[in-house]
Amino acid sequence: MSESLSVPAIPKKFFQKKTPWVVFVSILFLFVFSISFLITAPKVVDLVDSSLVMAQNEQWEQPHIAEKKGEVVRIQAKAEIAITSKELLPPKIQSAGAVAIDVESGKILFERNSTKRLSPASTTKIMTALVAKDHFKAGDVLTARPDTVVGGSTMGLSAGEEMSFRSLLYGMMLNSGNDAAFTIAGNYPGGISAFVDQMNVKVAQMGLMDTHFQNPAGFDSQNHYTSALDLARIASEASRDPQISRIVSTKETSVMSWDKEHNHLLKNLNKLLGEEGILGFKTGTTDLAGESLVILVERNGHKVITVVLNSPDRFSETRELIDWVYANYDWTVI
Asked whether residue 46 falls in the same domain as residue 181, the answer is: no
> How many domains is the chain partitioned into structurally?
2
The last residue of a domain, from among 20, 48, 75: 75
Dihedral angle sign, alpha carbons of residues 136, 141, 147, 153: positive
E-strand ranges in 80-167 read 81-85, 97-102, 108-112, 141-143, 162-164
Asked whether residue 251 falls in the same domain as residue 105, the answer is: yes
Asked whether residue 46 falls in the same domain as residue 150, the answer is: no
Asked whether residue 57 falls in the same domain as residue 181, the answer is: no
CA 282 – CA 265 distance, rounded (Å): 18
Contact criterion met (CB below 8 Å) for 101 and 108: yes
Nearest to 219 by CA among 169, 163, 275, 286: 286
Model confidence, pTM: 0.77
The last residue of a domain, from among 51, 75, 99: 75
Residue 40, φ and ψ in degrees, nearest 5: -85, -20
Domain for residue 130, yes or no? yes
Per-residue pLDDT in tens (0 to 9) along the chain, 334 residues: 333 334 344 444 444 444 455 445 455 555 544 544 444 433 332 322 222 222 223 232 333 333 334 444 444 445 688 999 999 999 999 999 999 999 999 999 999 999 999 999 999 999 999 999 999 999 999 999 999 999 999 999 999 999 999 999 999 999 999 999 999 999 999 999 999 999 999 999 999 999 999 999 999 999 999 999 999 999 999 999 999 999 999 999 999 999 999 999 999 999 999 999 999 999 999 999 999 999 999 999 999 999 999 999 999 999 999 999 999 999 998 8
Asked whether residue 182 falls in the same domain as residue 301, the answer is: yes
Range of the domain at 49: 12-75
Asked whether residue 59 falls in the same domain as residue 194, the answer is: no
Domain for residue 5, yes or no? no
CA 20 – CA 22 distance, rounded (Å): 5
CA 180 – CA 182 distance, rounded (Å): 6
Domain for residue 61, yes or no? yes
Domain for residue 4, yes or no? no
Q: CA end-to-end span of the chain, whole Å?
A: 37
The last residue of a domain, from among 24, 41, 75: 75
CA 203 – CA 217 distance, rounded (Å): 16
